[in-house]
Amino acid sequence: MSRSVTTAQRRLLKEYQQLAKDPPEGIVAAPISEDDLFVWECLLEGPPETPYENGVFQAILNFPKDYPLSPPTLKFNPPILHPNIYSNGTVCISILHAPGDDPLHYERAEERWSPVQSVEKILLSVISMLAEPNPESGANIDACKLWREDRETYNKLVKEQVKRSLGL
């Protein structure tokens, strides 16, 4: 790291150290390189008793230079089928939306990003989102429709993705 360490870099290093010391179950996350604390690779285990169970899903967390004032973005790679994940893999969840009032009035300000959030809280929220989709605020309209109208097919497609995530 350079001599002029930013507030964001100090915060990210602290969060990384905390996650490494006491990782939540089902979550592995770390910067891809010690030279760039702004890009993290994550492995998230699918929540039990959901179609995502036993899956291990890769995602990339990209932090803005003004973190923690602005939220990071989280993108599954490869993308996974879910009402709140865009078809390109980008997660759409309140905790990752810019702070303040929602111009569309779907979310309360306290549900959105604030600097007190952490990487751990983001990743736990994403696992919770996998378990409990919010089809009212969908990012992937096809997944929302399938989830609402044909849960059996939806679950079957997700379980196929779980197998692929494990290389099966």
Q: 86, 140 in Cβ contact below 8 A?
A: yes
Q: What phi-psi label fits residue 112: left (phi over 0), alpha (psi between -120 and 50 degrees) or beta?
A: beta
Could you confirm whether 144 is annotated as catalytic?
no
What DSSP state is assigned to residue 29?
A: E
Catalytic hit among 61, 80, 85, 92: 92
Q: Which of 144, 127, 147 is nearest to 45 (CA)?
A: 127
Quick check: helix, strand or coil at residue 36? Answer: strand
Q: Which of 15, 59, 65, 57 is nearest to 36 (CA)?
A: 65
Catalytic residue set: 92
